[in-house]
Chain A
């Protein structure tokens, strides 16, 4: 069952790949720089293929089934995206080629910027950030640069609702801001009274996720934004949950000043087992000059005969560069492909069916799991994963037991404001049949919790490996393979 590591599979002298013999005279390398030992494994190609194929079978994945991780938007990853991103005209271009030789890449990026602007209602977009968290970093750096540009230096605090993703406070402190938490009210909205009491001339901004991580659209979003604006602060939108808003409402229209997109959530690019993501950032007109450098612009406008010349533009008050080159280009090609295939109607349908699916699933399970906020949800919802009559069963046990029913568990223990949270986001790509099967499993588990709780506590039973000892991992801290040669 346990797959050996590549070092255990290694056999001295085995060759996995052959390069052509040198066709030039050899040059001597100065001795003082010569490496003595290169402790790399030695395998044949077939060894490598089988090893990684075996490993792949140990993974759950979207191609296998439902992946209802709340706030992660694990929707189906269309296969055509993989084909377009691999077109040799894209993959064999060097980022430092003269711009005249990469007009295809630049036109695609320019058009993607334009589409994201239109979808979100922002005046300008950068494609540079590598992932959502880096998009947030850019956003908060822009907030700081904006206030500094106005010599408004006393704004040292960022307000963050208690339902926020962990990246929000981490980003704020990375950029030197003090984090102030804002509680939610009884309906899961930002508590307006507390917000009013917190805003003053030391507040640089508010980071708001809407719909929030409870899956609820803040009923007072316009007022929340106005309160912050009146106090001179900016409002940052965490775009993790944008899937619920495509063609429904544009964050820029609602009053947000800045927002990051997660192309790997909303626009179907694969998560890749933990990246690459892509986190473009949109801003309102007064912040456009602060975007990271460079963005893609038209350097010479089109004439009747000639197409425009696309190139790089440095915004006037740029916060600088946050990544080498221009963004996760291969991911951008996938997202562009997806947006082009959907158009305005298709995008709105995504949000509609994502919300339909979440509400349907909720309607199927709400009798069995406590729902802390009795409202229509958006693309996801949060229920409690334990019951007063079986206090020893926890959200973690429910999650692990779901694996025995061949489902990936929902996000659990997040958001922190819900006790034993199970946060469920089915996405639009799941059929009614799949949702019914998942709901049946959840209902069954609620029953098992009462009848045979050990089934949950010891779950999973049918996975390649059972519950792992995380304490031992952190204590022993074995972070590299055992290497036979070195013993």
Chain B
């Protein structure tokens, strides 16, 4: 389909190689298995494939057509037109990893700016070029802490209010290390327990404490006390953040966190059914050599001009092989570029504004839902754009009824926290107008009355 050769050219090429036909080039392949016929549908043209893909897309129901109050780590935010307009430049998306800096300064400077923006947003000193998503960035925090203590601290204290999928991925990644055991606080306790309940688990065996801000249940806690206790015990602290929330909230860098990770999706990335997203990873300069992932550094060329290169590559798999800090290779380059463009456009003012809109609208929604008979907004803690509602009915049932009325209801917390039966996690963003929120409240009332 995308092969430019004419028959005449092919013949000339075969002649130059010295074989009669193309199949002669495959004589090393065992004859028994050579040229296996693939039972897949025959190829179609561009016009036909577009129609087919439109049919798949049309078989979905999408946010926008449905009013979206679903979050749980992925949020329906507006992406300014300029972001995709720049991303569609072939100069960016058809480039490879910038291993040849002389002809990759565009990608390299963009990553350098990404590193700066994330460091400034989180209040940290250094950031890498990205991880696959928030979950794997969290897992890499565990791996880094484990190596930092050379395996001598075999315990990770993991709050049960960290995103359930992030906890699962952290466990998958760390099961390579035989001696590490991951303690999950809240086992046997309520998911709603205060982070101070983690304090008793932190000891001299602890490599890392992982908490989330705002946490998976939407709550905002002051982790100063927890960080202090962890540091007294010599442990590191990783904070998982929602980057949009940091437009309003004190960044973890200011409370002395050692690692800040998160999901970059809210910063200009479409929800796109779960990916591609962006994991970001920020830490202090003293840990930079233990951090995995690519890094871009500033330097000069032979004429003294400023330029950028991939640096500290001796940590990486293509150089250190089995001694590398991680096997990561391809990361989320283009998605990091998207968030860099998004943050540059929003700037100081826009980021504050969007965070404010999410905060105010979520609080308005919470107040209105709290007025409904049978519904209760749970928790006395402050929240950002997401909150728990105890409903009079099973959430899954409510959500199917809400769908009929044109709403994508909140996340059913019972899926991950059996004790939170009938608890819905409602997310609100700048995309939800007051009218839409009022309609949602009305719809909740209707579907609970049935």
Contacts and interface: CB of A to CB of B under 8 A. Distances in A.
- Do A and B form a real pair? yes
B27 to A, nearest CB: 7
Contacts of A77: 90, 93-94
B274 A356 contact: no
Interface string A289-330: 000100000000000000000000000000111111111111
Contacts of A364: 16
B361 A24 contact: yes
Given A49-B86, A133-B327, A326-B274, 17 more contacts: A16-B344, A40-B343, A72-B96, A134-B327, A272-B92, A273-B96, A324-B277, A325-B274, A342-B1, A346-B1, A378-B28, A429-B4, A432-B5, A465-B101, A468-B308, A479-B297, A479-B298
A356 B35 contact: no
B191 interface: no
Interface in B156-192: 163, 165-166, 168-169, 171-173, 175-178
Contacts of A451: none
Nearest to A340: B49
A264 B352 contact: no
A455 B167 CA distance: 54
Interface residues on B, range: 35 or more
B113 A61 contact: no
A155 interface: no
Given A24-B364, A352-B22, A478-B298, A92 B270 contact: yes
Contacts of A52: 86, 89, 110, 337, 341, 344
A359 B25 contact: yes
B289 to A, nearest CB: 9
A286 interface: no
Contacts of B14: 356
Contacts of A147: none
A95 B73 CA distance: 10
B372 interface: no
B109 interface: yes
Interface in B336-383: 337, 340-341, 343-354, 356-357, 359-361, 363-364, 382
B306 interface: yes
Contacts of B332: 272, 274-276
Nearest to A219: B28
Nearest to A72: B96
Nearest to A176: B176
Contacts of B306: 2
B53 to A, nearest CB: 4
Nearest to B334: A272
Given A247-B35, A276-B275, A472-B300, A56 B60 contact: no
A56 B91 contact: yes
Given A59-B103, A97-B70, A472-B299, A131 B64 contact: no
Contacts of B73: 324
18 contacts: A16-B350, A35-B250, A45-B80, A80-B49, A88-B64, A115-B40, A118-B40, A130-B136, A132-B329, A166-B317, A170-B321, A272-B95, A321-B169, A323-B136, A330-B270, A359-B25, A378-B25, A474-B311
A285 interface: no
Given A40-B343, A465-B102, A465-B307, A480 B43 contact: no
Contact of A48 (B249, B273, B298, B345): B345
A290 to B, nearest CB: 12
Interface in B47-100: 49-50, 52-66, 68, 70, 72-74, 76, 78, 80, 82, 84-86, 88-98, 100
B47 to A, nearest CB: 9
A49 B85 contact: yes
Contact of B322 (A57, A84, A169): A169
A29 B382 contact: yes
By Cβ-Cβ distance, the 4 closest A-B pairs, closest first, are A89-B57, A325-B274, A272-B334, A343-B43
A467 interface: yes
A179 B100 CA distance: 30
Given A14-B347, A33-B249, A56-B106, A324 B166 contact: yes
B91 A61 contact: yes
B418 interface: no
A32 interface: yes
Contacts of A277: 330
A90 B132 contact: no
A420 interface: no
A376 B24 CA distance: 10
A247 B38 contact: yes
Q: Which residue, A69, A75, A88, has most C-beta atoms of chain B within 10 A?
A: A88
Interface string B13-33: 110111100110111111001
Nearest to A278: B276
A45 B116 contact: no
Q: Which residue, B36, B92, B133, B331, has most C-beta atoms of chain A within 10 A?
A: B36
A478 B297 contact: yes
B441 interface: no
A403 B273 CA distance: 40
A41 interface: yes
Interface string A18-60: 1110111111011011111011111101001101110111111
B301 A467 contact: yes
B271 A321 contact: no
B302 A91 contact: no
A150 interface: no
Contacts of B54: 87, 89
Contacts of B65: 92
Contacts of A96: 70, 72, 74, 411
Contact of B91 (A59, A105, A275, A473): A59
Nearest to B275: A328
Given A102-B60, A274-B98, A468 B327 contact: no
B204 interface: no
B349 A93 contact: no
A231 to B, nearest CB: 21
Interface in B116-144: 116-117, 119-121, 125-127, 129-130, 132-136, 143
Contacts of B309: 468, 470, 473
Given A179-B322, A330-B276, A360 B16 contact: yes
B348 A42 contact: yes
Given A84-B49, A98-B403, A133 B288 contact: no
B98 A273 contact: yes
B434 interface: yes
Interface in B287-325: 288, 294-303, 305-309, 311-312, 316-324
